[in-house]
Structure 1
Amino acid sequence: MTVPIGHTNTVVVGLDGSECALDAVRWAAAEAARRTATLRLVHAELPLPAEALDRSGAARQALHEEAMLWVQTAILAVDEVAPGVDVQVRVEVGSAARLLEEESATAAVVVVGSRGLGGFAGLVLGSVAVALSCHAKCPVVVMRGDDAAPDGPVVVGVNGAPENWYVVDRAFEEAEARGTELVAVHAWRPPLGTARIAESVGVVWSELDTVREAKVAQRLEACADRHPGVEVKRHVVHGSAAHRLLEFAEGASLLVVGARGTGGLTGMVLGSTSQALVRHAPCPVLLVRPGLAEQIEHA
């Protein structure tokens, strides 16, 4: 597993008592076992409203006891999926997004559910993922897809951005670790309203497809040398990148895309393609933030 420089080989997973979070725990446990990594369960207890007078501490104690029950349930789930994995636990009062962002400073990867309860209550779908994609110091996995195929291929979106090299290389690494093939997808839209004009001047879209295929092949070859055992299938298709990636992700074990974002934990912005995939993908989504490019150590 590619680990940002100065980080530890630890898989962090957000826990909040929801079924979606338990799915994230199971996935993270299997990932930790695959990578011989430590698994760290993290839960953010809800802060009490300022107007809540809890002089006896009973309310806080009740919330903490509930949290520890969720932790015990998560540990049982880990034992079922990956017995023997080293498990650590962190339970604190605070914001889930901020706590997981803090954890990302030393983790190899952070895993979160796409929706939740408890410590993630009140957050809209994907908001924790958006926060982490903007500010996490490591890649983030958002659990998606009840019917994801563990042995399915790894799918990656390929584009011409310079930082996409790191996304593609991470996808190669994930496919290599899983012993599965890599499906590389480049989607583009011929300029609307120009098909007739293009035909009149002798431009054929298939010729432009060929040019793009060559560029995609060049990008893949740059990473393939580092991962010679990975079988690659590449596709250059027309249409929305989000829509076409969702199609190819059916039956996949993982979808790898770049994420970009600005702003604080409020006013967050996640790229439209990434946001659509976080909301609708049929399998887990690995978000690789461009800002991490300078931190990644190539083994």
Structure 2
Amino acid sequence: MIIVGVDGSVTARAAVEWAANDAFRMRVPLRIVHAVDRTPYQVGRYPNPSLPDVLLREGRRILREAEALVHERQPTVEVTTQEVEGAPATVLREQAKDATEIVVGSRGLGGFAGALLGSVSTHVAGHARCPVVVVRPEHRPVHGEVVVGVDDSPECEPALAYAFEQAKLRGATLRAVHAWQLPVHAFAPEATYDMDEVRTAQHQVVRDRLNAAREEYPQVTVVEDVHAAHPVDALVEASGQADLLVVGSHGRGAMGSMVLGSVSRGVLHHARCPVAVVRS
């Protein structure tokens, strides 16, 4: 099941459209979730007793409009709606237990004007244990390409599997981007490198990661794209001609809690297409 969070914003509408199309491709049901957060309205000496009812009515209106949008875009997708009381980030994180994928807009109605990424999308992408797709509101042409970040870490493997599956479902080319930088040795600034040897080793990293997946997805055309650059820069550049950018998350927070790694965080803030963050 795909779950999409809505709050009536333009980015939420874009998320619903994206989720409806992905549910159609995957042939799975879609659940539209709206979180009713009363907390900001329960502060003060004279709370408004009718406000909770207003919030619930508004939530039902938002859900009806989102459901109608799904029926308009993908009439054959099975869709349900759910209104849940609680903070949006917490509600969506809890929903991840039932989800194949969670889809959210890049920023909702509560975000700061001009912010590229809202607190809810940041939190969900950093904590949910299923793939999280963050969608921007801009309508873009279809490019027929899925981009995935590849490195030599174990966290790369689930992201690769998700990216190959998305490319197969879309009939798209998969661009595997591996970006590398020369290490900086603080105590040996005079160190020199054989650039051809380094470049060959980096190409091998990409091939080793891709070979197993290529056997499982022979129908997917793969383009290997290796850059001597910062990973965020290389992935953001590739996102300009992509329908989806997929990254694994290397983040680990205090006490082992999940948070976004620096690359996935940077990509979420700057990518020009929807971004999927995939955990191991």
Q: TM-score, normalised by structure 2?
A: 0.89
Q: CA deviation at 1:205?
A: 1.1
Structure 1 residue 49 corresponds to structure 2 residue 39? no
Are the aligned partners of 2:158 and 2:279 in contact in 1 as well (CA < 8 Å)? no
Q: Which of 11, 24, 32 is 1:20 aligned to? A: 11
Which deviations, in whole Å up to 9, do the C-alpha atoms of 1:19-40 show, x marking residues without a partner?
0000000100111111111111
| More relative contact order, 1 or 2 (CA 8 Å, 6+ apart) | 1
Assess, with a 3 A threshold, how the Cα gap between structure 1 residues 96 and 82 changes in structure 2: closer, same or farther: same
Residues 148 and 252, structure 1, Cα contact 8 Å, conserved in 2: no
Shift >4 Å, 4+ stretches: 52-55, 120-124, 192-197
Corresponding residue for residue 37 of structure 1: 28
Deviation at 1:157, TM superposition (A): 0.3
CA distance in 2, matches of 1:206, 1:147: 41
Give the alignment of 1:157-172 within 5 angstroms.
157-172=149-164
Q: Structure 2: any 5+ residue segments left out of the alignment?
A: none
Residue 97 of structure 1 corresponds to which residue in structure 2? 89
Structure 1 contact 45–63 (Cα < 8 Å) conserved: yes
- Report the Cα distance in structure 1 between the residues aligned to 2:63 and 2:85, rounded to whole angstroms: 15
Of the three residues 220, 239, 242, the one matched with 2:210 is 220
RMSD across aligned positions (CA): 2.4
TM-score, L = length of structure 1: 0.84
Distance 2:203 2:137 in 1: 30
| Distance in 2 (alpha carbons) for counterparts of 1:165 and 1:242 | 18
Residue-pair matches, total = 272
Residue segments in structure 1 that go unaligned for 5+ positions in a row: 1-9, 291-299
Q: 1:61-210, aligned counterparts within 5 Å?
A: 61-117=53-109, 120=110, 125-144=117-136, 146-192=138-184, 197-198=191-192, 203-210=193-200
Is the 2:244–2:276 Cα contact (8 Å) retained in structure 1? Answer: yes
- Cα distance in 1 for residues equivalent to 2:258 and 2:130: 18
Deviation (angstroms), 1:218: 1.3
Partner of 1:225, secondary structure, is helix
**How many Å apart are 1:151 and its aligned residue?**
4.3
Mark the CA change 1:282 to 1:138 in structure 2 (over 3 Å): closer, same or farther. Answer: same
Shift in Å at residue 53 of structure 1? 4.3
Determine the C-alpha separation between the residues in 1 that align with 2:230 and 2:223: 19
Shift, 1:138, TM fit: 1.1
Percent identity for Structure 1 against Structure 2: 38
Residues 107 and 121 in structure 2, CA contact (< 8 A), matched pair in contact too: no
After TM superposition, the structure 1 stretch with the greater mean CA deviation from structure 2, 159-168 or 105-114, is: 159-168
1:256-275 paired onto structure 2 within 5 Å: 256-263=246-253, 269-275=259-265
Q: 1:153: how far off?
A: 0.4
